[in-house]
Structure 1
Amino acid sequence: MIWSSGRWFWLAIGLVAVALLYLLAPILMPFLVAALLAYLGDPLVDRLESWKLSRTLSVTIVFLSISLLVLLCFLFLIPVLETQIQRFFDKIPQYLEWGAMVLAPYLQEHFGVNPSVLEVERLKGVITSHWKETGSLIRNAVQAVSHSGFVVLGWVANLALIPIITFYLLRDWDHLVRYIDDLLPRNIQPLVARLARESDEVLGAFLRGQLLVMLALSVIYSIGLSLIGLEFALLIGLIAGVVSFVPYLGLIVGVGIAGIAVLFQMPNDIFMLFWVFAVFGVAQLIEGTVLTPLLVGERIGLHPVAVIFAVLAGGQLFGFMGILLALPVAAVLAVILRYIHDTYKESHIYGVDVGLLDMPQPLADKVADTEKMP
C-alpha cells in the first residue's frame, strides 16, 4: 500500500542519487563540463539539422566550433590577460603613491590628519611581498603537481575525456531526452514535461542568452577602452562584462574602475573621463536595443540575486562541481517553486478568508453579506 503510492519509491531514488553524487564527485567533473557544453550546443545542432544537414555532420560542425573557441581562448586571451594582471600588480605601488600624494594634502587640510598615518611605504611593501608569495605559491603548486605522476595523469585524463563525452552527448542529446521522457510514469509525465520545458526556458535564458550578452559586452568594452588608449582595457572590459548579469552592475563597476584608471594614467587629462562614459553609454545602448532583444528575448531568466546566491552556495557546499551545478539546480528549483506558488494560490487553503475567522460571528456574517453584494 505504501509503495503503491510511489512516494517512498521516489524518496529512495532521490536518496540513492544524492549518495551516488557524493561518492562519485571526484570523477564527475568531465561529465558535468561535457553536459554543460552539450546543453549549450544542442540548439545550434538542431538549427543546422533544420537546414537539412545530418545529425552527425551538424554535431561535428558545432563540436569543432566549440573546440576552436576554447583553443583560441587558451592561445590568445589567457596569455594577454595574464600579462595585464601582472602589469597591474606591478603598478600597484605607483598607484598607492599617487593616491597618497593626492589624498594626503586634502586630509591634512580638512581633517588635520598627519600624512604619515597612511603608511604608504609599509602598505606597498606588504602588497608587493604578498604578490610575490602568491606567485611562489602558484609555482610551488605547479611543481608539486608535476612531481605527482598520478595527479598529472588524472588531469590529462579528465581533459581528454571532456571533448569525447561532449561529442557523444551532442550526438545523442535528443535520444537521451526522449528516453528519459519515456521512463517517466504516465500519470506524472505531462506535469514533469511541462516543468522541464519551463526549466529549460529559464536556464536557457541565462546560459545561452545572458552569457552571450556578457561575452559581447566584454568585447565591446575592451575594444572601446583600447581605442581611447586606456591601459588594462582587456582586464577592465572582462570584469565589467562578467558582472553584467546583474542589471547595471557591469556599468557601475566598469565606469568606476575605468574612471580610476584614467585618473591614474592621465591625471592631467580629465576630458578622458568623457570618452569612458561614451564607451559604456554606447555599449549599454547596443545591449538594450540589439543584444538583449536578439539573444535573450522575452524569456524569463533567473533573478540576479538568485544567480549570485546559487553560485556562492554551490561553491561553498560542493566546490567547483557545485558551481557547475548551481545554475541548473537553481533554474529547476525556481520553476518548481513557481508551480507550488501557483498551486497554492488555486487551492482551497488560499481561498479561506482567515480574517473572518477572527471576527465576532455577527460582524463576520455582516462582512460576508457585504462581499456578496454586487
Structure 2
Amino acid sequence: MSLQRQLLFWLLALAVLVLALVLFRDVLLPFIAALALAYLLDPLADRLERWGLSRLTATIAILCLFLLVFIVGTVLLAPLLSQQLAGLVARLPGDAAKLQALIMERGAPLIERFGGAKLAEDAQSSLGNLVGEATKWAGGLLASLWSGGTAIIGVFSLLVLTPVIAFYLLADWDRMVATVDGWLPLDHRDTIRGLLHEMDVAIAGFLRGQALVCLLLGTFYAIGLSLVGVNFGALIGIISGFLSFIPYVGSLTGLVLSVGVATVQFWPDWTMPLLTLAVFAAGQFIEGNILQPKLVGDSIGVHPVWLMFALLAFGSLFGFVGLLLAVPLAAVIGVLARFLLRQYLASPYYRGRSAPATKTHVEL
C-alpha cells in the first residue's frame, strides 16, 4: 500500500473516531470511566494471577474492594461536604462583598494618593464589577452542583453501569489486547508495538501517579485548612486536590478561595490568612519536591502548557468525557508527534539526499 493510501486510511479512521465521540458523547461516560478503571486495575489483576488466582476471581476481588472503599468514603464524606457546599453557596455573595470593601478600604487611599480621586473611583467600580461577575459565576456553578443537576446525576449514575462494564473489561483485558495485537499490519508490527508501548508507559504512569497526587494533596489541604479553622476548609481542600490534575489550576483556585474566606472570617487578624497561605505553600513544596518526582516524574512526556490546552480543548468539545480523554489523547499525540519528527529529521526532506542518515534524539 502506498504512503498516500496509508495516510488516507488513518485520516479516515481518525475522522470516524472523532465523529463517533461527537455523536455518542452523551452516553460514553460510563464506558470511558469503566475503560479507565479497568486499565488502571489491570496490573493488580495480573499480579493476583501470578499469585495463583484465576482471572475471574482476581477481577471480582479487585472490584469488590474498590467499590467498598468508594462507598465507605462517600458515606463518610457526603454529609460533611454537602453541608459545607450549602453553606458556601449561601455565604459566597456576602463574603465577596465584604472582601471587596476590605480591599477598597485599604487600597483606595493609596490609589487616590498616586492617581487621584477619579482613578480610585474607577478602580472601585471595576473591582465591584469583577467581583460581582465572579461571584455570580461561582455561585451559579455551586448552586447547580448543590441542586443536583444533570451532571451530578450522571456522575452518580455511573455507580450502576461502570462497575458492570469494568468487570467485563477487566476479566477479558488480556484477551482483548492479544486480539488487537493480532490485527496489526505485519510489515509495521514492531514499529507500532514500540509506539503503543511508549503510549502505555506515558498514560499509565501519569494517570496512576497523578490520581494518587490529587488524593494526597486533597487530603493534606482539607486537613490543613480544617486545623487552621477556615470555614468550609474540608470542601475547599478536596476541590483543590481534585482540580490538581490540571497543572497549577487546583492549587491557585484553592489558594484564592481559602485566603479570601479566611480574610473575611478573621479580619482584622492577619494570622489565620497567613497560616492559610502557609498551608498551600507547604502543599506546593510537597507536590513539587516529593509527590510529582516520586509518583509521576516525566512519564507523560508532555509540556504542562500542551496538557492544559488539551484539557480545555477536549473538555469544550466533548464535556466531561473530553476531560477523561484529554490526558490519554495528549500523551498519544505527543508520542506520535515525536515519532513523526524523528522520521522527518532522518529523512532526505530534512538532511538532503546526499547527507548520511544519523540517529537523532528528539525531545518535545
Partner residue, 2:318: 318
TM-score under structure 2 length normalisation: 0.77
Q: Distance in 2 between matches of 1:117 and 1:6?
A: 61
Q: Distance in 2 between matches of 1:273 and 1:133?
A: 25
Partner residue, 2:346: 346
The SS at the match of 1:188 is: helix
Counterpart contact for 2:206–2:299, Cα < 8 Å: no
Partner residue, 1:368: none
Per-residue deviation at 1:312? 1.8
Q: Distance in 1 between matches of 2:90 and 2:62?
A: 41
Per-residue deviation at 1:199? 0.9
Partner residue, 1:97: 98
Query: How do residues 135-174 of structure 1 correspond to structure 2 at under 5 angstroms?
Result: 135=143, 160-174=160-174
Partner residue, 1:82: 82
Partner residue, 2:42: 42
Per-residue deviation at 1:193? 1.0
Q: Distance in 2 between matches of 1:191 and 1:268?
A: 65
Q: Distance in 1 between matches of 2:318 and 2:141?
A: 28
Structure 2: gaps (5+ residues) = 354-364
The SS at the match of 2:172 is: helix
Counterpart contact for 1:214–1:241, Cα < 8 Å: yes
Q: Distance in 2 between matches of 1:131 and 1:192?
A: 49
Q: Distance in 2 between matches of 1:349 and 1:269?
A: 67
CA deviation string 1:291-330 (max 9, x = no partner)? 3344224524432222222122122223333333322222
Q: Distance in 2 between matches of 1:251 and 1:138?
A: 23
CA deviation string 1:31-87 (max 9, x = no partner)? 222111111211222233343333223212221232224323543334433322321
Moved more, 222-231 or 56-65: 56-65
Query: How do residues 1-374 of structure 1 correspond to structure 2 at under 5 angstroms?
Result: 13-14=13-14, 16-91=16-91, 92-97=93-98, 99-101=100-102, 103-104=104-105, 106-107=107-108, 110=113, 111-112=116-117, 113=120, 135=143, 160-245=160-245, 250-352=250-352
Counterpart contact for 1:203–1:301, Cα < 8 Å: no
Q: Distance in 2 between matches of 1:231 and 1:311?
A: 30
Moved more, 342-351 or 89-98: 89-98
Q: Distance in 1 between matches of 2:148 and 2:161?
A: 27
Counterpart contact for 1:310–1:327, Cα < 8 Å: yes
Q: Larger Rg: 1 or 2?
A: 1
Letter paired with 1:279: V
Letter paired with 1:46: D
The alpha-carbon distance between structure 1 residues 129 and 13, as it changes in their structure 2 partners (threshold 3 A), is closer
Per-residue deviation at 1:170? 0.8
Structure 1: gaps (5+ residues) = 146-151, 354-374
Moved more, 309-318 or 68-77: 68-77
Q: Distance in 2 between matches of 1:129 and 1:314?
A: 22
Q: Distance in 2 between matches of 1:9 and 1:43?
A: 33
Counterpart contact for 1:2–1:8, Cα < 8 Å: no
Partner residue, 1:362: none
Letter paired with 1:197: H
Counterpart contact for 2:246–2:311, Cα < 8 Å: no
Counterpart contact for 2:89–2:142, Cα < 8 Å: no
Letter paired with 2:100: G
Task: Name the % identity.
Answer: 37
The SS at the match of 1:187 is: helix
CA deviation string 1:227-271 (max 9, x = no partner)? 122222123212332343455555544444333332212123322
